[in-house]
Structure 1
Amino acid sequence: MGSVILVTGATGNVGRRVVSDLLRTGARVRALTRNPDTANLPAGVEVVRGDLSVPRSLDGCLAEVEAVFLLLSSPTSAETAPAFLETVAKQARRIVFLSSSAIRDDVEQQTNLIGKIHADLEHLIERSGLEWTFVRPGAFATNARGWWAPQIRVGDVVRWPYGAAVTAPIHERDIAAVAARALTETGHERAKYVLTGPEPLTQADQVRTIGEAIGRPLRFEEISPETARQQMRAFMPPPIVEVLLEVWSKLVDEPTPITNTVAEITGTPAHTFREWAIDHADDFRRASENSNSPSQKS
């Protein structure tokens, strides 16, 4: 029997894909989740109960583990990650950390809160003695589901700020594919991979693309940052809201640079946002539309 790869955040958008990609390589996969009974992971995965924010829950999860995929589920898990890393370093050899492109390597102090949380943990990993790879995605395509699906399921208008902000949303398939390569191949040690989707799109463009995927014309309606601030605080922490509003305001005039990293690492071009929208079309359809349409979810 070979050594084990531990996947944290194994039931999330990226973690679940990492698990599946690793299984296809023949790896032994152990999935860490708070609720094993509802994990619904593929056969062949060893599912264990644990929570990064509760270090004592991780006892026994690292036996025979050679490599770890680390994903922060919340700021709380970032606070307790040092204890987890200390334990990992005693057992494992390699770690692949799902970090963030918000990090700026050209400054001493990160001013972006998301960048600071991830940069602080990157520094801890660098000092841990583990072989490491940092995967730094930009805008996640799947954010569109959390932000806009509630509005699209009940109407044809998305009310949101900074419609002209340009990002290059990346499919969770591509993030997972790069992570799986780094976990199972040599040659990725001490690499910092910045990942983006293949095309620049405004937020208004993304809404229109979702509409095309579900067969309904959708319209983007600009709202003020202050109105958005109140709306967004209903489902995300206020500090994160402030970071997003600031970032989007800059992206109107300074679009996200595009990288070709996904293709370079995997040999396959990154998926487009249109492909992502087709994969997740059912998440945006009204209940009546889903009942009359074949599922296209991936």
Structure 2
Amino acid sequence: MTSEIESRLAEIADVQGRVGGFAGADLSQTEVLFTSWGCPPVTAEVLAGAPRLKAIVHAAGSVKGHVTQACWERGIVVSSAASANAEPVAEFTLAAILFANKRVLDIARLYRERRGRLDWDARFPGFGNYRRVVGIVGASRIGRRVIELLRPFDLEVLVSDPYLREDLGVAQVGLEELVARSDVVSLHAPDLPETRHLLSRPLLAAMRDGATVINTARAALVDQEALTAEVASGRLYAVLDHTEPEFLPADSPLYDLPNALVTPHIAGSLGGELARMADLALDELDRYRRGLPFLHGVEPATLSRSA
């Protein structure tokens, strides 16, 4: 936490101090918990020692790891900075989409190897972003932001989400149609039992030759073994910010395949981007102080289908 953030926090609230865990912590006078990644669960036992607790403001993404059923039963209001974390993920995804259709990785590699001019059009006929089809799987907070960022481009955007009930200004189609039509399939669904291997071996096989899978969501959404086989064959491309395991073993072929870009979970907020999340959380804390409802409140009913 930077000195600027700490100063603003002190202006908004009477800060009792930091705790690394709840064991032995005196929460008897605590009205708001200001939490971040790694916060332990706020259990019924913790709540018993925090009789005045009314709110949890989370300066990170998902609250599933620490906001328990006991918190909802107590009527505690909860806010999350997930929308701030969505921004860099959406930006990363936008760059990946544009680079994928432009075949930037391929051309850069060949240029480095050849050290001279190549016939790009012969090597990559029709490459580029004009009128390409991009499929967004999951109308989540990040998925919706990606759709917004894609609007200025001459792309056809499809979305598939069984829970989507509103018009996002793009064509809503079934998952099978989306993977069959898309040049890029970008995943933005939550990791739930029903979404495990959502992009299955048959659906991967149904994708267009030369299409790209982008996963900035969760590794479990993709049958990674099947995807690796498709990429190794040269038929598909992949941009993966999430893998199973999170850090691939040294002998994984994904490291060396020229049509795969694998990054170690860097799409979300890192470095200076963390300040955006802290600023949003402080804004929410200030709203609570002034008796206003959260702008980024978390509702328990939506947690079953969110990250």
Larger of the two Rg values belongs to structure: 2
TM-score (normalised: structure 2): 0.38
